[in-house]
Amino acid sequence: MEPGRITIAVGAVIEDGKGNILLVKHVPERGGFWKGKWICPGGKLNLGEKIEDGIKREVREETHLDINLKTPIKPFERIVRSGDQIELHVVYIDYLAEVIGGDLEPDDDVGEAVWVSKNAISTVWDELHEDTRKLLTLAGIKA
């Protein structure tokens, strides 16, 4: 993410039809704000790209899964400050989605991917990035 710019991050809370949601974790070498924590698949929206297309592209790139977008989740933002400097300003735009094809295979920058039962999300709640906890809460999935 570029300092001094607002980033639009798009992604999805993906369900498998069996009561599970998909979480991914980036490889440690990638670094960044989300390092070492479980998150929902997503990434940066490209200039000129429609939100829905960006979500599907990011999910496909990270997981090799095809999804159907169902319901938008209320957008939210994160501003990270260091003294008087803003290190990160990201606006999250996510959808609830369902898997419709593909085989789960984490891509190079996503080292791990796991399906977690919505009923068992509390067992990994502390391992989720705090923005992911907020996203899941907005999606109606709570610890």
Q: Is the pLDDT of residue 2 over 60?
A: no
Q: What is the DSSP letter of 127?
A: G
pLDDT averaged over the chain?
A: 91
Q: What mean pLDDT comes out for the span 37-41?
A: 93
**Closest by Cα among 20, 44, 12 to 109:** 44
The pLDDT value given to residue 35: 67
Grade residue 38 by pLDDT with cuts at 50, 70 and 90. Answer: very high
| Listed residue (71, 1, 13) closest to 41, CA to CA | 13
Give me the residue spans of the domains in the chain: 11-74+95-138
The pLDDT, as a whole number, for residue 3 is 54
What is the average pLDDT across 130-141? 96
pLDDT single digits (tens) 87-112: 889 999 999 999 999 999 998 778 89
Residue with tokens 């990994």: 124
Helix (H, G, I), strand (E, B) or coil at 11: strand
CA–CA distance, 136 with 93 (Å, rounded to integer): 13
Residue whose structure tokens are 């501003």: 79
Residue 37: predicted pLDDT = 86
> Contact, 121 vs 38, CB < 8 A?
no
Superfamily of domain covering 11-74+95-138:
Nucleoside Triphosphate Pyrophosphohydrolase (3.90.79.10)
Residue in 31, 33, 11 with CA at minimum distance from that of residue 23: 11
